Amino acid sequence: MNPEQAYEWLASHNRETALLASAEQLLAWDQRTLIPPKGHAHRAQQLALLARLIHEREIDPRVGEHLARVEGSDLVADPLRPEAVNLREWRRNYDRAVKIPPKLAEALALAAAEGQTAWEEARPLNDWAAFEPFLGRLVKLSREAAEGLTYTTEPYDALLDGFEVGETAAGLASLFGALRDSLVRLLDDIQGSSRTPEVAVLARHYPQPLQEQFCREAAAKIGYDFAAGRLDYSAHPFSSGLGPGDARITTRYDEGFFNTAFFGALHEAGHALYEQGLPPEYWGAPRGMAASLGIHESQSRTWENLVGRSLGFWRGFFPRAQELFQALKDVKLEVFHFAVNRVAKSLIRVEADEVTYNLHIILRFELERALINGGLEVKDLPLAWNAKMQEYLELTPPDHRDGVMQDVHWSAGYFGYFPTYTLGNIYSAQFSAAAAKDLGDQEGLFARGEFAPFLNWLREHIHSQGGRYRPRDLVRQVTGEERDSRFLVDYLSRKFKDLYGV
């Protein structure tokens, strides 16, 4: 078999594997949205079986044989050619997959499916004791996976690399430490301000049907294609890119607080816009996939915050919000805009402001790093959580529901995922600064409801590139600079010093 034939076999094999994975994602989407309560046990078995079948395909010895036939050939001489990009990532994925025994892959999938169900049932009841065994099993299995994957410095690196290629815990600790110091200084300045936003206007009555209508209108206006997606309810907002023509989003509603549903929907729409902008001709291969979770989060955080919390955005959307919600009839635009940009130490990550949000992520990064490396046991996690909350935000959760159990990620075994949110914030500010050089100030465009120029810029520079570049290479390609958190610090400082007059 010559290199061209070997490559075609790999392309066909991996596309079929991707089809199986998309079926697995669909079952997972259904589990978190529409499944009847008694269907969870059976669904866990379905997901475990699919995970085993997918893993068996990933470690098929023929994959390694055909990779070796193509490597070094003229077909992949240009590293940015689609074939070379695909081969690069297929090799990486294969080398990782063969280190995980099929039984472990299946056990992880089963534990994740059962863990998410346990979390959804236990969190509303504040029942840590019921959830703890499920989390304990996931940590145990994840530690096994980390040891099997091998690492240079610490086990957590092996899992982190699965979400953001090339990152290490030590490297992130340094990056996040410098960012934390800057954020704490900014937070101190803001807390010294005499200005106080009227957040009570956000805690009025906002009927769920009208919230859903407003979320749909806003998502469509920024470019989300509902003919290729849908909006549903879930206990924790998420998005699912199931394949070309199918990128779904969810949010959750609180009739007594405006921000929850709306900014959750914008965040997930940002993810889905990325999925809808990926090149469909490369679907099923790395060239047609997102560059990384960090880059994915840059898109969601961009639309949620840099766009969705801007004054220009609300100049365009606030009149419609006042039409829909009686609660906003007597509220001025500037009052509302200040309220949705309030900076305050809070318990809940998904409701945190732009300044304190990354402190929530750093807390989780440090805890999961200790969990995987063995410095922290699951039984001690609630106390460790509360101690970190007190250290970073000077708050102590009143219960587990709004403390250690507030996020879905650990219940799904996603250890190494949380850091990608802060990486996404860093990337988003740097990308937006580059876009501003090309497009100029966009506040006026947003005020007129014109989001296409910015979306098209993202499509050209980021979405259409798919997995052509790895994260840091993509940042360098798009911005002409290395990744740098100063763009995020500069953006936050300008915005909030102006709002708070400090």
Q: Which residues are catalytic?
A: 268
Q: Cβ atoms within 10 A of the Cβ of 489, count? A: 19
- What gap in Å lies between CA 364 and CA 370, rounded to an integer? 10
Torsion from C-alpha of 85, 90, 95, 97, nearest 10 degrees: 140
Residue 233 has φ and ψ, to the nearest 5°, of -95, 145
Torsion from C-alpha of 211, 217, 219, 224, nearest 10 degrees: 140
Site of tokens 């297929």: 90
Both structure tokens of 9: 């076999």
Contacts of 27 (CB under 8 A, 6+ apart): 43, 46, 47, 50
Q: Cβ atoms within 10 A of the Cβ of 250, count? A: 21
For the chain, the distance separating the N- and C-terminal CA atoms, rounded to the nearest angstrom, is 68
Contacts of 145 (CB under 8 A, 6+ apart): 100, 104, 108, 158, 159
- What gap in Å lies between CA 384 and CA 434, rounded to an integer? 40
Contacts of 106 (CB under 8 A, 6+ apart): 48, 49, 51, 52, 55
- Nearest C-alpha neighbor of 104 from the set 39, 168, 59, 61: 59
- What gap in Å lies between CA 25 and CA 37, rounded to an integer? 19
Q: Is 13 helix (H, G, I), strand (E, B) or coil?
A: helix
- What gap in Å lies between CA 21 and CA 14, rounded to an integer? 10
- 267-295 exposure pattern, b = at least 16 Cβ within 10 A, e = fewer: bbbbbbbbbbbbbeebbbbbbbbbbbbbb
Contacts of 494 (CB under 8 A, 6+ apart): none
Under a CB-based contact definition with an 8 Å cutoff, are residues 14 and 283 in contact?
Answer: no
